[in-house]
Amino acid sequence: MTTPDLTVMGGGVFGLACAWEAARRGARVRLVECDRIGAGPSGGLVGALAPHVPENWNEKKAFQLDSLLMAQGFWDSVETASGLPTGYARLGRLQPLADQAAADRARARSAEAALLWRGRAVWQVVPATGAAWEPASPSGLLVHDSLSARISPRQSGTALAAAIRARGGTVEIGQAKPEGPETLGPEILGPVIWATGLAGLLALGDDLGCVVGAGVKGQALALGLDARDQPQIFADGLHIVPHADGTVAIGSTSETAWLDPQATDAQCEALLAKAMALMPVLAHGRVLEMWAGLRPRARSRAPMLGPWPGRQGHFIANGGFKIGFGMAPKVAQVMVDLALDGRDTIPDSFRVEASL
């Protein structure tokens, strides 16, 4: 490959999405991953692309909305270029309502969604029907939104890497792990986007002499149960997501203290018990896998995007904590705009400085 127009460090969803966005614009792209595609949380199980509540609107919610509305076209382009499935489908989401007060709040949000979501999706209160694929609802009412979608984290990572290669980009796996810009060899020319997850947050913090983020452990599991055409469920802080491969993902925990970041334990088993109480139909599924890993969370709790302070030509795309797949299409758009064209449309609350 000739000298790349853009180098992307990291084979998680932010790095892959940025590399694909640049490649489909015609740029020469090189992506470098030290371990494997989706080695961190981007290789997990859940894949819930779900919107924030449509109220108290802010730039983070607006950015996520844009990204969710871009998702169909973005993932379609990946599947077309790669010839591989991503598992994307916009099938909506159901949430139970505890009582009449909760139903009243949900109806108020419905009016907000009609305005804020620009007529592209709905948030509405609907009666429970008693169908097997519904969460238990004390009020007999549910919120249905048509914006939520699902994706297979692993299939989409594989498809993104294949799409990049199909457009002439290079994807290098198993390369030595650089600590930061100063450790890159002279062969790295042009702009570099650092999308290296928790290791990247720690390296950035060391470079700047402060804590900019941390890892939060999550645990999830997958059941063998075919509900592929059903909406996802969000209830009592739990995501229940049917996938196209005949599995249902359940997650996830948020742990700030742990002994082994990669180990599953009783907390993962508790997820299943909680999910089955909400959705008895899940008892028909068999546990296929339990997963645990560390997700990068910036101090600002928003994605961390923009120039690496003091490092000309180096940029950060990190901190996707829980919403990385939903944010990825828009993150890729603004990062490639910045790195290749010098056009800066990053929200102020997403900037690296917001986490300092």
Domains of the chain by residue range: 6-80+152-212+299-355, 93-146
Predicted TM-score (pTM) of the model is 0.95
Q: What is the torsional sign of CA 37, 42, 43, 47?
A: negative
Q: How far is CA 235 from the centre of its chain?
A: 19
SS3 218: strand
What tokens were used for 253?
């925990």
Counting Cβ atoms within 10 Å, is residue 185 exposed (0-12), middle (13-18) or buried (19+)?
exposed
What tokens were used for 211?
């804590």
CA distances from 190 to 8, 30, 315, 316, 332 (A): 11, 11, 11, 15, 17
pLDDT (0 to 100) of residue 186: 47
Count the Cβ atoms, other than its own, within 10 Å of residue 84.
16
SS3 255: strand
SS (H, E, C) 164-220: HHHCCCEEEECCCCCCCHHHCCCCCCCCEEECCHHHHHHHHHHHHCCCCEEEEEEEE
What tokens were used for 92?
């909506």
pLDDT (0 to 100) of residue 254: 96
CATH fold of 6-80+152-212+299-355: FAD/NAD(P)-binding domain (3.50.50)
pLDDT (0 to 100) of residue 190: 80
pLDDT (0 to 100) of residue 175: 72
pLDDT (0 to 100) of residue 177: 63
Q: What is the pLDDT along the chain (356 residues), one digit of tens a residue?
A: 578 999 999 999 999 999 999 999 999 999 999 999 999 999 999 999 999 999 999 999 999 999 999 999 999 999 999 999 999 999 999 999 999 999 999 999 999 999 999 999 999 999 999 999 999 999 999 999 999 999 999 999 999 999 999 999 999 999 766 656 655 544 566 899 999 999 999 999 999 999 999 999 999 999 999 999 999 999 999 999 999 999 999 999 999 999 999 999 999 999 999 999 999 999 999 999 999 999 999 999 999 999 999 999 999 999 999 999 999 999 999 999 999 999 999 999 999 999 88
CA distance 281 to 240: 12
